[in-house]
Each structure stands twice: as C-alpha cells, then as structure tokens.
Structure 1
Amino acid sequence: MEPGVRHAHRNIAEAIFRESAGLALTFLEGHLDLMVLAAGAIVGALRAGRKILVFGNGGSAADAQHLAGEFVNRFLLDRPALPAIALTTDGSILTSIGNDRGYAQVFARQVEALGSAGDVAIGISTSGQSQSVVCGIETAGKMQLCTVAFTGGDGGNLVELADYTFVVPSRSTPRIQEVHATLGHALCQLVETELFGTS
C-alpha cells in the first residue's frame, strides 16, 4: 500500500472511532436517567412473569436478535434464562405476513399473536420512520405492552408512540447502530444486576 493511501486510511479509521465515541458520550448525557427507568420497567415486567419482544429491519434486525440472545442465554452472569423473542427470525411467518398483509404488518401481527399486557416491546429503527417498526410499537401500545424505541435523527414517528424513546442525535446510520448496540448492552447489564446481583 502506498504511504499516502495508508495515511488516508488511518485518518478514515481514526475519524470513525472518534465520531462514534463522541456520539456515544453525547447520547449518554441526554439519556442516562431514561436508561435506568427503562431497565427498571423491564425488570418489573420480568419479575411479573412477562416477556420481551424485540424487532427491527436490516442491521436493526440483527441488533434485535443480538439483544434477545443476551437476555435468553446470558450477558455477563451465569443466571436463569430470561424470556425474550426476536420477531425477525421466522422466515415463514415473516413472508406469509408480508405476502398476505403487507410488509408494514410483519411485526404488528406477531405482537398481536405473542404479546400480552405487561410484556415489553422493543422496536429498533435508526430513522424512527420504519413503518413495520412503527406499526409494531403502535400495536404493542394498544395491547398495553410497555414500549421501548431505539431510534436516531429526530426520532421520527416513534417519539410519540413509545413509553421510553432513545434518540441517538445523528443522521449517520452506522454511528446510530453503534450507539444502539451499546445501549442494548447497558440495558442488559442493568437488568442482570438488578435481578441477579453482580457476581
């Protein structure tokens, strides 16, 4: 690799990490108390025997599956499994709903089937405008689930719909997703600590 190209690549990589770190800290300053409150709501639901439903599209679908996996299996502690379902994993359900009812209903229909009052629904959309996520959160709210939104930009339609809305102040999808991943980890650790202690 030419020295000039190597130098340019170093600058790109450094800029990515500095932007991501700075955005994470900016997000933290505006959302720390909300994180504690949302984690408390999740703990309350789990103690009451309720479950967590998580959903999103594309990279946010992967984030939903990651988050559900942390709750079901473990995050940091060896502890009892916690009930969480990613609504992004069953191809037959997703394609049948998409085919028969339209893609906007792929999460709403699953929330209707699997959700109950007192459960927690976590919808993830970097723009807050993903219609499938908006409809899923709308349905969850109507069914009296506790609703949590991970979003970005100005929060989009999700801002007015969710009980707890986390808005990453950026228009960059990759940077928003990086903060969403850290937010998911923070919520997992807060929930684990409250339910099972720190060791």
Structure 2
Amino acid sequence: MDYYEIIAERFQGTIEHIAMSVDQIAGPLTRGSDLVCQSLLEDRKLLCCGAGAGAALGQLFVAGMLSRLDQERPPLPAICLNADSAALCAITGDSGPGHAYGRQIHALAQEGDVLLVISSGGNNPSLEQAVAAARERNMRLVALSNDADSALPELLGPGDVLIEVDGHSRSRIIELQVMCLNLLSQLIEYGIFGSYSQD
C-alpha cells in the first residue's frame, strides 16, 4: 500500500499548524527562556516534570540541558523528576500518585530554582501538586500546557510564564510541544553562552 499521500498531508498539516502558532508562542517562549537564564545565571537549577507524553518530553528536554542541543558548551543544571522510576514508585506507593513530584520538589528545590511543568493532555493532580510545592519553595514557574488542560494555567501567578499550544488532536499538541522545547533549549543556550564555542 502506498502511504505517500497520508504522509504528505500530515507533514503539510504540521507545517501549517506550526506557522499559525508562531505569534501565540513567540512571546511566552522568549519570557520563559529569559526566566530560566536568569535563574541559571544566579547559580540556581531547573527542575522539570510532566504527565503522560509530557513526562517523556521532560526527559528529552533535560537531556539537552545536561548535554547540548546545537553547540558545544558546559552542561546546565537540570533534573527531570519523572526519570527516576524507583523514587516515583516509592512515593506513589506511600503517599499516592498525586504526590509524585511534590515530595521531590520539597527535597530538591531551593528558592529561585525554576520548575518547568509539561502538560500534554488534560488536568493532572501530580502537576497541580508540583506547582503547589514549587510555590512553597518560592520557585519560578514555566508551564508548557495545552488548551485541554484548564487547571494548570489557573495555578500560575503574575511572575510565571505560560506557554500554551492549541491543537485539535494530542499528536498535534505533542508535535508543537517538541518544537517549543527545542526552541526553549536553543534560546537558553544563546541567552547564557551567546556564540560560545569550545576550541
């Protein structure tokens, strides 16, 4: 069977969706990268967590922070809270699934750190608890969310950054969120290192 037409239509739809989203996302992406850069330049760190596909995206993003995206540079301090399966099993087994990230934030976070929360689907109690714990630690917040999650944006304060993507399907949302995270990585690298290169 020839799938070319299906593939071509998907690529074209994705390109159009990305192009239509630039004006909505450019400003929040810029503010989010500025907030992260300011925190990292103050010797703070970035914590990240997500739900569902957002958890996988968080791991991808943190891997880029610890390694690199496009240019050789020093590693940046970042922790993905959903990467440690043993810790997650222990916490959810003892305290319930809603506390998966909150307890880690209480243990690991310091004032001035940034929490990046990634929601690729609907409302999630673990992410809401993470935001509450971040508030208690006086962290800065960046949320990469979507129009299906009504709870997360309501929890953010005036100094926080909401990067919200729209999409009629979860796969479209995830595609755009991957691009947002790659751009966020690139802007953070540029904001901290500029044209830095290691010889």
Q: Same fold (TM over 0.5)?
A: yes
Picking from 12, 15, 18, the partner of 1:18 is 12
Q: Could you tell me how far apart the structure 2 residues matched to 1:29 and 1:154 are?
A: 20
Amino acid across the alignment from 2:184: L
Q: State the Cα RMSD in Å.
A: 1.5
Structure 1 gap segments, 5+ residues each: none
* 1:87 corresponding residue in structure 2: 81
The one-letter code of the counterpart of 2:22 is L
State whether residues 71 and 188 of structure 1, in contact with CA within 8 Å, keep that contact through their aligned partners in structure 2: yes
CA distance in 2, matches of 1:24, 1:118: 32
1:57 equivalent in structure 2: 51
In the TM superposition, what is the alpha-carbon distance from 1:128 to its structure 2 partner? 4.8
* Residue 154 (structure 1) shift: 4.7
Moved more, 92-101 or 56-65: 56-65
- Please list, as runs of the form range in 1=range in 2, the aligned pairs for 1:26-175 lying within 5 A after superposition: 26-162=20-156, 163-175=160-172
The total of aligned residue pairs comes to: 193
1:182 aligns with 2:176: no
Q: Which runs of 4+ in 1 moved over 2 A?
A: 9-12
Contact 1:38–1:164 (Cα < 8 Å) also in 2: yes
What is the alpha-carbon distance in structure 2 between the residues aligned to residue 175 and residue 114 of structure 1?
33
TM-score (norm 1): 0.91
Shift of 1:103: 0.7
Identical-residue share of aligned pairs (%): 28
Q: Deviations over 1:46-76 (max 9, x none)?
A: 0000000111123211110110011111111
Amino acid in the other structure paired with 1:195: I
